[in-house]
Amino acid sequence: MKKVISIISSFFLYNTPSYSQLTIISTGTTTTLNQISIIENHIVINGQSNYLVKSYDECNTLIPLTVP
């Protein structure tokens, strides 16, 4: 009985809901985005069709990068 109570209590302790904020980033492109990374406090977004941009200000402005 002790094991059942500990299993049930652990279920409720570890399955608490979490909340987060979602921000929609308008990239100005119709290409499929593959990855959004944070590198040294900079946001880097890359996608198909040679799309690569970086941002210093939480995606308020996107700076296109040249693709090698």
pLDDT for 6 equals 58
**pLDDT digit string (tens) for 5-17?**
655 555 555 555 6
Residue 25's alpha-carbon distances to 6, 17, 18, 19, 60, in angstroms, are 43, 25, 22, 19, 8
> What residue has token string 């409720």?
12
**Are 36 and 43 spatial neighbours (Cβ–Cβ below 8 Å)?**
yes
Q: Which 8-state DSSP code applies to residue 32? A: P
Residue 65 has pLDDT above 70, yes or no: yes
Q: In the prediction, which pLDDT does 7 show?
A: 59
